[in-house]
Structure 1
């Protein structure tokens, strides 16, 4: 039987992967490609979640509301297992593991293991810390992750057909399209 977690048995600061504020948030569901800890940055590989090694990131893993285990000692080591559908926060506030001291409103970035720290000048920013925290503890980071400003990988799920093009735009014949199939105005 799963053990309910809630706020019981947590330290004063929120545990990793806990929703960190009452403001609106957006959580997607994705399959874990490997075992994934709570509160770490995620990326997508082969349509599955993996721990992100660098920014930009896809989302942050949130914890589930129960623990798989037989005693309360299992709570501390619980995590998402390979193949599970996991919660991936794309917008909102969540408690995350930090490796350096952070101040309230510091810009946040990630380490190669998906944990968080303050961003240094010139580093990509994934969000802002809304609470202060001590190194090797937790802090709440606020994010609004989009795919804007990122570079495409060229990977697609479905192959799109490309309409015929006429390289000579002054001499187009009827029925020939001058688009390349990449203009998707109106598609969401």
Structure 2
């Protein structure tokens, strides 16, 4: 039985995968290629979303408004299950799990498990943090990933001559 969550059962910091501002944001929907946690970076592989291990990324998974389970202990470990149609934020601000202390306006990079950290030497930034956060908690990151870091392999025929 699904359990409604909303903002009721969160700590003071927004839970991973929660949209972080009321400003414009864009959410795409893709099937989960594996089980995927909320608030992690994903890439597209075999037409499904899987955890990204490096940039570029497709987007960041949102959380759903309910948990799959029979009691409230299910909320803590809930995630997107393989095959589910999951929400993926491609533009806007979202709360993400962080593995190091971050400061407001630090550039954001991803770890091999799709979680976030401040960008360091050699890291490709995917966005920037809007809030500060302590290691092993959450912070709000802003991304605008629409066609970012993509390379076309061929020029599309838009003239109509190929028809």
Q: Same-fold call, TM > 0.5? A: yes
Match of 2:38 in 1: 38
Secondary structure in structure 2 of the residue aligned to 1:140: strand
Contact 2:30 2:48 (8 Å CA) reproduced: yes
Among candidates 145, 155, 158, match of residue 182 of structure 1? 155
User: What is the number of equivalent residue pairs in this alignment?
Assistant: 160
C-alpha distance 108-62 of structure 1, shift in aligned 2 (>3 A): same
TM-score by length of 2: 0.93
Deviations 1:44-69 (A, max 9, x none): 00110000000010000000000000
Moved more, 56-65 or 120-129: 120-129
**What RMSD in Å do the two structures reach over aligned CA positions?**
1.6
Match of 2:140 in 1: 140
Match of 1:111 in 2: 111
Match of 2:15 in 1: 15
Structure 1: gaps spanning 5 or more residues = 155-180
Match of 1:58 in 2: 58
User: Once the 2 structures are TM-superposed, how far is the Cα of residue 182 of structure 1 from its aligned partner?
Assistant: 2.6
Match of 1:174 in 2: none
Structure 2: gaps spanning 5 or more residues = none
Match of 2:26 in 1: 26
User: Once the 2 structures are TM-superposed, how far is the Cα of residue 151 of structure 1 from its aligned partner?
Assistant: 3.2
Contact 2:43 2:57 (8 Å CA) reproduced: yes
C-alpha distance 122-80 of structure 1, shift in aligned 2 (>3 A): same
TM-score by length of 1: 0.81
Based on CA coordinates, which of the two structures has the bigger radius of gyration? 1
Larger strand fraction of residues = 2
State yes or no: 1:72 paired with 2:72.
Answer: yes
User: Once the 2 structures are TM-superposed, how far is the Cα of residue 185 of structure 1 from its aligned partner?
Assistant: 4.8
